[in-house]
Amino acid sequence: MTKKTTSELLSFFAGAMLEHRQLPAFSDYDGETYTYQQVYDNVRYMHQFFKEAKLHRGDKIALLGSNSAGWGIAFIGIITYGAVVVPILPDFSAENTHHIINHSDARLMMASSPLFSKIDVEHLAKLDGIVSLSQLEPLHDPKAKIETALKKAKAWQEDPKGVDDLHFKEGHSDDVAVISYTSGTSGFTKGVMLPQRSLWSNIVFAQEHMPLNAGDQIVSFLPLAHVFGLLFEFLFPFTMGCHVHFLTKIPSPAIVTKAFGEIRPHLILSVPLVIEKIYKKRIMPKIDKPIMRLLLKTPVISGVIEQKVNKALTETFGERFSEIVIGGAPISEEVEQFFRKIGFRYTVGYGMTECGPLISYIGYKKSKFRSAGKVVDRMQIRISKEAPNTETGEVQVKGDNLMLGYYNNEADTKKAFTEDGWLRTGDLGYLDSEGYLFLKGRSKNMLLGPSGQNIYPEELEARIMNMPCVAECVVKQHKDKLVAMIYPDREAMECERLDFPDIENKMKEMIKHLNKELPAYEQITGVEIVDVEFVKTPKKNIKRYLYT
């Protein structure tokens, strides 16, 4: 493949629209479909509107909406104009939304009509106005600038002499393309400035290592305002001429599997929570019966059963996917072990918003159990060890994928980097002799045992999560003792007719059995049953700081 350069970023999008004009580009699930030609026409009109609204390269445009074709067209329109996209997660509170719009210095906002209703425009004095994602109509136009600009753009669109092909002026590789505000497990919201080179590098890596072809199908259900879904369910497939189906509904396992069965995607991206729920609801009830457990231990018969389970699980995800790439959080060891045993096509990647997002990945055929793959092209990785005799340390990275820093936040930007320019990920891990990365947990989550032993609560939580009747879990340290906070599986409680005292006793009994398998310093001595789900980030990671 010809070596690509970062000056090609915007040409990726123009090329896709021009080369695949007649192919379907975007569909809202059970809704309207847009061809690449229609996306092209909408983007041209949007560019003219921005021009008439006196927006310039580098101006910030906030984007608020759920996954949809309108969101996708708006993103392509903004970034190819040379403006900076400020995507806002739809489940952010009104207070956080106001803060992001103001902090980012956004001049314009594009919002879905339902989400616009939660915005108080009195808090948004810097904005020139707000337009709807679906129709490009004014929602907030304090000085009538938006309506005037839209009228002029409409007149331009209707005049054949005024319509010309798209001409994108490529920027510099370090020009800011996206400012991504994330709600992390630590509770702090910072604007990650991703330059053109970061998007370019991630897209090129995917083109070269996650092959898709024009016309292939993709289901987009991860939040587009987060870089994992943005890059690999949307931007990368778009550059390849794929048909992206936006799951506009809340992505419950039932809805996701229904969409997979109907659309039959060629590549699947997911967070562990969705995969683990499908495993727990669809596979576990079948293989956890006494006769099945016995047969799975029987030579020859076990192999036949595993093939059938693999076939059934593969069909659940639409059957024709090349692989499922799991990222965003650690996957349960039990689930991964089962997937490897039956030969299921999955792999685990690792990244973070500050790297737009990729840090490590490898295809499923070369993947290693419990590994997050190898460092990706144009990136470097090292393990910084505080103690010389330990193999585990903080994962630190540098390279083309890296952010420029946090917007208007020099203090946190300085803290994020080492003196020699490496990004501190805050994750703990080690590299094996072949360069595979193994993650142990977050450095800020690590607990110390009574004699200074390292305790990784995520590993304990993963084991507890595989117990019957457990939906979610957080392990915390209280007075030098480990306590498991457990949110029970309500459906399982109803099936077994258990009330909360019953479930507490059941959990305590199961923890006793678990403790027999754990070293003394990892013994769990307390159980707390909670009656509401834990608060989570958009990646479905629990906001631990609220509970520990």
For the segment 65-96, what is each residue's pLDDT rounded down to a tens digit?
A: 999 999 999 999 999 999 999 999 888 888 88
Q: For residue 185, report the phi and psi dihedrals to the nearest 5 degrees.
A: -70, -15
Rounded distance between C-alpha atoms, residue 159 and residue 411, angstroms: 51
Question: For the stretch 405-414, what's the b/e string if a residue is b when 16 or more beta carbons lie within 10 angstroms of its beta carbon?
Answer: bbbebeeebe
pTM: 0.84
Asked if residue 452 belongs to a domain, the reply is no
Q: In whole angstroms, what is the distance from residue 491 CA to residue 52 CA?
A: 55
Cα separation, 389 vs 232, in Å, equals 38
Dihedral angle, C-alpha 80, 81, 86, 89, nearest 10 °: -50
- Closest-CA residue to 112 (of 142, 69, 157, 83): 69
In single-letter form, the type of residue at position 176 comes to: V
Would you say residue 471 lies in a domain?
A: yes
Question: Which has the higher per-residue pLDDT, 250 or 513?
Answer: 513
Domain co-membership, 286 together with 427:
yes
Residues 97 and 172 grouped into a single domain: yes
Q: Which residues contact 71 (CB under 8 A, 6 or more apart)?
A: 63, 65, 112, 133, 224, 246
d(CA 157, CA 164): 10
Q: What average pLDDT does range 490-518 have in this prediction?
A: 89
Q: Provide φ and ψ at 402, rounded to 5°.
A: -70, 145
**How many domains in the chain?**
3
Q: Which domain holds residue 498?
A: 466-546
Stretch 199-209: mean pLDDT, rounded?
97
| 278 pLDDT tier (thresholds 50, 70, 90) | confident
Residues 479 and 341 in one domain: no
> Residue 456 falls within a domain, yes or no?
no
Judgement on whether residues 435 and 473 belong to the same structural domain of the protein: no
Confidence class for position 446, pLDDT limits 50, 70, 90: confident
* Residue 438 sits in the same domain as residue 479: no
Q: Whole-angstrom Cα distance, residue 325 to residue 269?
A: 5
Give the pairing type, strands 138-140 and 243-246. unpaired
pLDDT-derived band at 163 (thresholds 50, 70, 90) equals: very low
pLDDT, residue 185, reads: 45
Note the pLDDT of residue 26: 98
Burial of 46 (0-12, 13-18, 19+ CB in 10 A): buried
Q: What pLDDT shows up at residue 254?
A: 84
Q: Within this chain, do residues 302 and 397 fall inside the same structural domain, yes or no? A: yes
Name the band, by pLDDT with cuts 50, 70 and 90, for residue 169.
confident
The pLDDT-based confidence of 164 (bands split at 50, 70, 90) is low
Q: What is the DSSP letter of 436?
A: B
Q: Are residues 412 and 473 in the same domain?
A: no
Note whether 126 and 168 are same-domain residues.
Answer: yes
* Residue 79 resides in a domain: yes
Shared-domain flag, residues 381 and 419: yes
pLDDT tier for residue 451 given thresholds of 50, 70 and 90: low
Q: Which residue(s) pair with 437 in the sheet?
A: 431
| pLDDT > 80? residue 454 | no
Answer yes or no: do 78 and 153 share one domain. Answer: yes
End-of-domain residue from the set 195, 215, 235: 195
Q: What is the CATH number of the domain that holds 66?
A: 3.40.50.12780
pLDDT of residue 1: 38
How many helices (H) does the chain have, and how many strands (E)? 19, 27
Mean pLDDT in the chain?
90
Tell me the CATH number at 538. 3.30.300.30
Q: Is 12 helix (H, G, I), strand (E, B) or coil?
A: helix
User: Would 179 be classed as within a structural domain?
Assistant: yes
C-alpha closest to that of 84 among 196, 223, 197: 196
